[in-house]
Chains A and B, each alone.
Chain A
Amino acid sequence: MPLALPDLQAAFAAHLAGADRPDLAAGVLGDAIPSAARLRVYRHHVQESLASALAATFPTVQAVVGSDFFRALARAFVAENLPRQPVLAEYGEDFPAFVAGYEPARGLPYLADVARLDWALNAAFHASTDERLAAADLAALPADRLLSLRLVLASGTALVSSAHPLDRIWAASQPGAPEGTVDLDAAGAHLLVLRRPDDAAFVVLSPPEARFVDGIALGKTLEEAAAWVDGEFDLTAGFARLLNLGAFAALQ
C-alpha cells in the first residue's frame, strides 16, 4: 500500500532529521541510483544548506573556529533544531546556548559570547529603522520630567556583556585583520549593538554605561537607572553619548 500523503510527508520529515524509514524508501523508484541514495540527496541538502545559513548568521564564530569545526558544530545544532519557519535570517536564536553546551568547544569559553554577539548583530541588521530619540525631542522638557522618563531601546539595540575581551576577539576575527594575538585573560567587555542606517555595528560601553543601559532596558526611569549604577557615572555625558548613538526609540 502506498503511503497516504500525510504519512509520506511525516516519513520524509523523519528521514530528513536522520531516521531510517524503509517504508518511505520502499515507495521511491530506484535503478542504478538506488532509492536510498536518491533520498540521501535531500537529507544532505537540508543539513548542508542550513549549516550554510548558520555560517552566514554567525560569521565570527566560524572565523574563530575555522570552517571544518564550524560545519561539525552547525550540523550538530541542525540535527536537533530544525527551523520553525522559512525566514533563515531568523534561524539560530538558540545557537549561542547550544554553543555553550557543545562539548568539543569546551576549551573556548568565550565562543558562546561570540555567538551572542553575532546573533545580536544579525538581529540589529534586520531590525526596523523606526525613528530614534534625538536630543532636540527633549530640549523642551523640564529637568524633572526628563529624569522621570522611561525610555525604550530602539529596535535592534542590544547590550552584549562578556567576561572575555569580546571586542578584541571580534576585531581579530574580521577578514583582513592584522596578524596578532588577543590576550584572552584581559578584562571583559560590554558591547552595545545598534542598527545604523546601512548596517549593524557595536560600540564599547564603560561598565557604568552598560549598567545604565541595563537599567533602562529593565524599565527604570533615567533617574532610577542612574542611581542604580554603582560607581562613577556622569549621567549627562553618558546619556548624551547614548542619545547620539541612536540607542533609544522616539517617544510614543
Chain B
Amino acid sequence: MISAAGIGLRSPHLAEIEIDRPAAGFLEIHAENYLASSPALAAVERLRADYAFSVHAVGLSLGSCDGLDEEHLARVAALVKRLEPALVSDHLSWSTFGGRYFNDLLPLPYSEEALAVVVDNVQRLQDALGRRVAVENPSCYLGFAQSTLSEPAFLSELARRSGCALLLDVNNIAVTAHNLRLEARDWLSLPGEAIVQYHLAGHAVNDADGEPILIDDHGSRVKDGVWALFGDVVRRFGPRPTLIEWDTDLPALDVLLDEAARADRITSTAGGLHAARAA
C-alpha cells in the first residue's frame, strides 16, 4: 500500500531515502533550507521524479506590518518555480521586523488591524508565486488582551478575504489550546473546504514558573491526545494529505514512516466515518 501521509525530508535521512525510496505520500522541505545551492538541493531535484513535494516556508513573515521582504520572496518564488511542489505554505505569524530575522513564529494579536496586514501579505505572496498558498495555524505561548477575534475566526476571515488555503496543524491546536486555556474543538469551526493539508508532530511539556507549558519542539512521537484530536479533525473535515514533522532529536527514518503509517490508519477509519456522515 502506498502511504498517503508524508514526512519531512531532513538532511540526515537524505541518502537513505535516495537509496531505498520508501513509500511516502509526499516529502516536505523547509523553503529556507534550500534557497542556497547545496548537495541537498541537488538530491531533492533527483527525488522529484519519485515523490510529490510540499514546500513549507518558515521565514516569509506573513504577519509583518512592514510587508514582505521582496528579496526573500524572490528567492522563494525561484525555488517554487524550480521544484513545482504540490503545495506552498507558511504560518500565521511574523518573524522579521526592522530588517532583523528572529527565527521564530511570533504571535499576532487577532485584530482587524492585523487581519488587514496578513491579507495584504498573503495576496502579495500569491501574486508573486502565481498560485494559491496555504497558511498554517501557529503554536502559541501567549495571547494578546487586544485580540477581538478567535484564531479560527481570524483564519476563516483570512481565507475568505485573500482566497488562501489553510493548513491545519493538529499538534499546534493542542499546544495553543492548552497554553491559552482554549478548547481544541473551537478549531473544528474552520471552513473545511479551505483546508488542504494536516500537520502532526510531537511536543514537549516544559515548566513555566511551576506551571506546565506545551512547547512545539517537533522532537518526539505524536502524543496520544493529538492522535485523538486528529481523529476528530478527520471525522469533521475528511481526509487530507498529512505530514509527520520531526525537527529536533531526529530519529531513524523508520520511526517517521511508522508515524506516517499510524496517520494513514486513522485517516482510513475516521475518513470512512466522515464519508458515511456526508452521504
In the assembly, what is the distance between CA of A35 and CA of B96, in Å? 22
Could you say which residues of chain A place their CB within 8 Å of the CB of B36? 87, 89-90, 126
- A198–B69 Cα distance when bound, in Å, is 31
Q: How far is the CB of B183 from chain A (nearest CB, A)?
A: 16
CA of A81 to CA of B99, assembled, Å:
12
A138 within 8 A of partner (CB) = no
- Are B208 and A41 in contact, CB atoms less than 8 angstroms apart? yes
CA distance A10 to B96 in the complex (A): 10
In the bound complex, do residue A27 and residue B72 qualify as a contact, i.e. CB atoms below 8 Å apart?
no
User: B202 contacts the other chain (Cβ, under 8 Å)?
Assistant: no
- Distance between Cα atoms of A232 and B242 in the complex (Å): 64
Size range of the chain B interface in the assembly: 35 or more
Q: List, in ascending order, chain A residues with CB within 8 A of B72's CB.
A: 85-87
Interface residues on A, range: 35 or more
Q: Does A53 contact B (CB under 8 A)?
A: yes
Complex Cα–Cα for A199 and B102 (A): 29
The proximity string for A residues 110-128 relative to B, scoring 1 for CB distances below 8 Å and 0 otherwise, is 0000000000000001111
How far does the Cβ of B145 sit from chain A's closest Cβ, in whole Å? 5
Given contacts A33-B209, A126-B38, contact A84 B100 (CB under 8 A): yes
- A10 contacts B117, C-beta separation under 8 Å: no
Give chain A interface residues in 1-35, CB to chain B under 8 Å.
Answer: 2-6, 8-10, 12-13, 16, 27-29, 31-35
Given contacts A86-B72, A126-B37, whether A39 and B142 have CB atoms under 8 Å apart is yes
Asked if A41 contacts B215 (CB within 8 A), the reply is yes
CB–CB A13/B113 < 8 A: no
In the complex, how many angstroms separate the beta carbon of B200 from the nearest chain A beta carbon? Answer: 21
Closest to B57 in A: A86
User: Are B104 and A49 in contact, with the CB atoms below 8 A?
Assistant: yes
B37 adjacent to A128 (CB under 8 Å): yes
Residues of A within 8 A of B59 (CB): 85-87
Fill in one digit per residue for B99-130: 1 if any A CB lies within 8 Å of its CB, else 0. Answer: 11111101111010110010000000000000
> What are the interface flags for B1-40 relative to A under an 8 Å C-beta threshold, 1 for contact and 0 otherwise?
0000000000000000000000000000000110111110
Inter-chain contacts of A69 with B (CB < 8 A): none
Is B141 in contact with chain A by the CB < 8 A criterion?
A: yes
Interface residues of B (CB under 8 A from A): 32-33, 35-39, 42, 58-61, 64-66, 69, 71-72, 75, 94-104, 106-109, 111, 113-114, 117, 141-146, 179-181, 208-211, 213, 215
Interface residues of chain A, those whose CB is within 8 Å of chain B, are 2-6, 8-10, 12-13, 16, 27-29, 31-35, 37-42, 45-46, 49-50, 53, 82-90, 125-129, 197-199
9 chain-A/chain-B pairs, Cβ below 8 angstroms: A5-B109, A6-B66, A9-B94, A12-B106, A27-B145, A45-B104, A87-B35, A87-B36, A129-B37
Given contacts A6-B66, A82-B101, 14 further A-B contacts (CB under 8 A): A9-B94, A28-B142, A28-B145, A29-B143, A37-B213, A38-B213, A39-B142, A40-B208, A41-B142, A46-B104, A84-B100, A86-B59, A89-B38, A129-B42
